Amino acid sequence: MLGSFPMSQHTDTECSSMEERLAVPGWDLTPEYLSFDAPAFAADLERVRELAAELESLAPCAAAALPHAADLDPEREPELLAVLARSFAIGDEIDARFGSLRVYTNCTASVDGGNARAKELRGLFSTLGARIDQAESAFSLLLARASEPFARAALALPEAAGQGFRVAQARKYRDRLLELPEEKIIAALSPDGKDAWGRLYDAITGTAKALYRGPAPSGEAPVPPEGREIGLSEAASLLRDPDRNVRAAAYRAQSEAFRVHEESLAAILNSLSGFRLAEYEARSRRAALHFLDEALAANRMRRDTLETMLGVVAESRELGRRALQLQARLMGLPRLSCYDTLAPAPHVADLEPRSYCFDEGFELVRGAYAAIDPAMGDFVREMRDASRIEARVLPTKRPGAYCTRFPKSRTPYVFLTYRGALSDVFTLAHELGHAYHGRLLASLPLAETAYPMNLAETASTFAETALADYLDAQRGEGVGVVDAGLLEVAWADAQDAATFLVNIPARFAFEKALYERRVAGPLSPGSLTALMAETMREHYGDTLDVYDEGFWRSKLHFYMSGLTFYNFPYTFGYLFSLGVYARRAELGKGFHAAYAALLRDTGRMETEDLAKKHLGVDLANPDFWRASVEIVRGKVARFESLVASLGR
Ligand SMILES: [Zn+2]
């Protein structure tokens, strides 16, 4: 019985009065800008416009040098080098000022969804941003193509501080570049070619209607017998409804709606993959370009690393399936259906929901951080004392949580809506992890701070794991907490295990098979459905009674024109972060220094080098990934003992 676990005792951080319960902090953005009307805001915007115009006036100079870039002699090009120096300085200043204007606008819109000025500014920023990107492209292309002596001379300019890694990456992959006129043709054709397919998917899924026939979703009015028309995003959100019948009805409605469009959707998928394959072939003149290479380069990692990780994931598939079986057991089902995989933790009658006032939740997070290193605990305290946490419950706030950084002041801020559930405490720990990562990057040149997707969740997943261990340790000492919230967290852990070890690998396997088969010709909707069904069966085994064979139609990630294989970085990030955590015991006292140094280098090193340098591990060795899987095993075991203690 869960009741046999010691319940939390009264501590000095526990809240008692109503005022304390309501004392959830908001952020104070005034150190960045006082308001949209503040002179500093207008001045930064004006300055960005001037800089953009200056960059546009310099770009033709770089473009003119492109045709003979490979023969550039730095001795003979003092003017071109001066133009480059100016472009570096402009780029840095734009990144700082324009970045801060955008962050401030987004932050304001997140708290006040109806803010008209924020909407107007976002439109203006996207046009201005496109102009800047266009002007910058001539310079980045020149640096990628330039002769070795010229590139060295450019990087030796004082204005080029921090550009080394970025330029080296561009030069590493320059064999993939085509001749200039060809690059121009591809760039000119893409908006109405490749990108148009992505937009068509958005247009179809944004306007298509599903007919929902089922029980009233939680908190809503009854549904008439003939059903109710809903959008596809609403159908998707109903897949997270606590009522299983609602989820089943939403799944049926969603599947029917997508099936109506399956010819168009198959055409989009075939065209996107066909376009890319043709482009990869064209870019294979100097060295063969594989269809995975684009995504690997974006994540700054090697193919053998990916294969090693996927190998360990495949051997750990049973663990993900085990999590699904336990979820079914807790729900009282022989097995889950595909529409149960996103369900919230079921309500368990004998578990009391427990609420954590902000002070109490905050202290848990601070304690968990301090247990890793006192400096981390101090950082968390400072985030709160400086009013950099927006946690209030406000009707105008957007849902979700995020961490953002102002590039001018280099200051991180955290956004969430804190209602007092244990999951909110975990969200706070997660977002403060991103903030800590941001803090460590604050003293580096901005050009060295952009980290790839596979490393983006390192600090946040790490913080969640640290908090879970901290709560466990506290429970061992008799001051811990067991309640509906703990079950919710364990449920989320099980869901993660199934998502990262089963679902994401299935998405990868499907996309890979699609590219392999697409070489021979387009796939019909029937073939795509059969391929998805086969992939799902292989991954889920007998843990589901209904497979989502239409997943190829409904999953947006397959249809993004700017990104391919937007799947494996999720599993990589999850396991990488746990692998970092797993090194804690071995590195002991030296761990925190190594961890902080690793986070600092995420924007200026390739992934394998990063792990080697700071953790002394080889990502192409399966043992690193197996250590991560062991942590997942511990999380699933924790869930299992909770399920058992409930007599399920
Ligand atoms: Zn995150």
Residues 44 and 173 in one domain: yes
What is the count of structural domains for the chain?
2
Q: How much distance in Å is there from the Cα of 49 to the middle of ligand 1? A: 32
d(CA 138, CA 57): 12
What is the whole-number distance in angstroms between the Cα of residue 53 and the centre of ligand 1? 35
Distance 438 CA to ligand 1 centre (A): 12
User: How far apart, in whole angstroms, are the C-alpha atoms of residue 476 and residue 281?
Assistant: 59
Please tell me the distance between residue 464's alpha carbon and the centre of ligand 1 in angstroms: 10
Rounded to whole angstroms, the Cα distance separating 353 from 364 reads 18
Q: Kindly tell me if the per-residue pLDDT of 388 is higher than 50.
A: yes
Rounded distance from Cα 453 to ligand 1 centre (Å): 10
CATH number of the domain where residue 141 is located? 1.20.140
Residues 170 and 219 in one domain: no
**Is pLDDT of 3 > 80?**
no
In contact, 518 and 455? CB cutoff 8 Å: no
Residue where a domain stops, chosen among 538, 559, 580: 559
Please state whether beta strands 209-212 and 402-406 pair in parallel, antiparallel, or not at all (unpaired).
Answer: unpaired
C-alpha 127 to ligand 1 mean position (Å): 28
| Helical axes 458-476 vs 358-372, angle rounded to 10° | 100
For residue 332, what are its two tokens? 């009282």
- The verdict on residue 436 lying in a domain is no
Write out the residue range of the structural domain in which residue 555 sits: 195-317+493-559
- Let me know: does 568 contact 504? Beta carbons within 8 Å: yes
Query: Ligand 1 centre and the CA of 432: distance in Å?
Result: 9
Which tokens is 209 given? Answer: 């209607």
Asked whether residue 280 is domain-assigned, the answer is: yes
H or E element at residue 414: strand 411-415
User: Residues 114, 45: one domain?
Assistant: yes
Is the domain of 199 the same as that of 72? Answer: no
User: What's the CA-to-centroid distance between 431 and ligand 1, angstroms?
Assistant: 6
Cα–ligand 1 centroid distance for 433 (angstroms): 8
* Closest C-alpha among 501, 527, 375 to residue 436: 375
The whole model's pTM is what?
0.90
> For 267, which DSSP code?
H
CA angle 376, 382, 384 (to 5 degrees): 115
Q: How far is the CA of 643 from the centre of ligand 1 (A)?
A: 28
Tens digit of each residue's pLDDT (9 = 90 or more) over 353-375: 778 999 999 999 999 999 999 99
Distance from residue 239's CA to the centre of ligand 1 (Å)? 22
**Distance (Å, whole) CA 158 – CA 160:** 5
Residue 461 CA, ligand 1 centroid: distance in Å:
7
Distance (Å) from CA 561 to ligand 1 centroid: 23
Which residue, 128, 145, 177, sits at the end of a domain? 177
Q: What is the CA(126)–ligand 1 centre distance, in A?
A: 24
Instruction: Report pLDDT for 390.
Output: 97
C-alpha of residue 459 to centroid of ligand 1, in Å: 8
In a domain, 646, yes or no: no
pLDDT digits (tens, 9 = 90+) for 175-217: 999 987 888 888 888 889 999 999 999 999 989 999 999 999 9
Same domain, 171 and 58: yes
Whole-number pLDDT of residue 25:
95
Q: What is the pLDDT of residue 20?
A: 56
Give the gyration radius of the chain's Cα atoms.
Answer: 26
Instruction: Give distance in angstroms: CA of 26 to centre of ligand 1.
Output: 20
Ligand 1 centre and the CA of 556: distance in Å?
A: 19
On the question of pLDDT at 456 being above 90, the answer is yes
23, two tokens = 């004392």
pLDDT tens for 133-162 read 889 989 999 999 999 999 999 999 999 999
Segment 376-386 mean pLDDT:
98
Instruction: Look at the alpha carbons of 308, 312, 313, 314 in this order and tell me if their dihedral is positive or negative.
Output: positive
- pLDDT for 23: 83
Residues 107 and 172 in one domain: yes
CA–CA separation, 362 and 23 (whole Å): 12
- The Cα–Cα gap between 106 and 29 comes to 12
CA–centroid distance, 456 to ligand 1, in Å, is 7
Element (H, E) at 402: strand 402-406
Rounded Cα distance between 450 and 448, Å, is: 6
pLDDT averaged over the chain?
Answer: 92
CA angle 309, 314, 317 (to 5 degrees): 125
Helix (H) or strand (E) holding 441: helix 422-441
